[in-house]
Amino acid sequence: MVRAPAAILTSGKRKSATARAVLTRGQGRIWVNSRPLELLDPPIVRSKIQQPLYLLGPRASSLDVQISVSGGGVMGQASAARTALARGLVEYLKDPALAEMFKRYDRSLLVNDPRRKLPKLPQGRGARKRRQKSYR
């Protein structure tokens, strides 16, 4: 029988949000920035962070997870936390079939999203928008 490690540290990124997750043996509790996951709003953020747990099933009920997230917006932070949690579950359980299932479901569960925001350019108010020209 393979013994699970005492604690697993993982990270995830999305846009400018960075998440760090610590998985330990426990009672199945999840905290995000020192707050229980049940208190996070809006509810779609909660469900996005819990996706790896839904896919895993009852095997995750004996793990405590502490996630600290900084930077970015609400959904970017949720995606970063989801990636950190999924990576931690794969590393904690040492199950290659679980990693393959996560990749088939959504590759961004295990792989950081490399897309970043385009910088604002001259002659415009944003990355793509430009001032219109009138030749009259």
pLDDT of amino acid 44 = 94
In angstroms, the first-to-last Cα distance of the chain is: 80
Q: Parallel, antiparallel, or unpaired: how do β-strands 63-70 and 30-32 relate? A: parallel
Residue pLDDT, tens place only, 15-68: 999 999 999 998 889 999 999 999 988 999 999 999 999 898 887 778 899 999
User: What token pair was written down for 54?
Assistant: 């839904």
Three-state secondary-structure class, residue 70: strand
- Given the structure tokens 């953020």, which residue do they identify? 45
* Closest residue by Cα to residue 114 from 79, 89, 86: 79
CA–CA gap between residue 83 and residue 14 (Å, rounded): 9
- Given the structure tokens 């905290």, which residue do they identify? 31
User: What token pair was written down for 92?
Assistant: 């904690």
Give the neighbor-by-neighbor strand order of the sheet with 17-25. Answer: 7-14, 17-25, 63-70, 30-32, 35-36
CA–CA gap between residue 131 and residue 100 (Å, rounded): 48
H-helix or E-strand containing 66? strand 63-70
Residue pLDDT, tens place only, 84-132: 999 999 999 888 899 999 999 988 889 998 888 889 988 888 898 888 8
Domain ranges for the chain, please list them: 7-106
- CATH topology assigned to domain 7-106: Ribosomal Protein S5; domain 2 (3.30.230)
pTM: 0.83
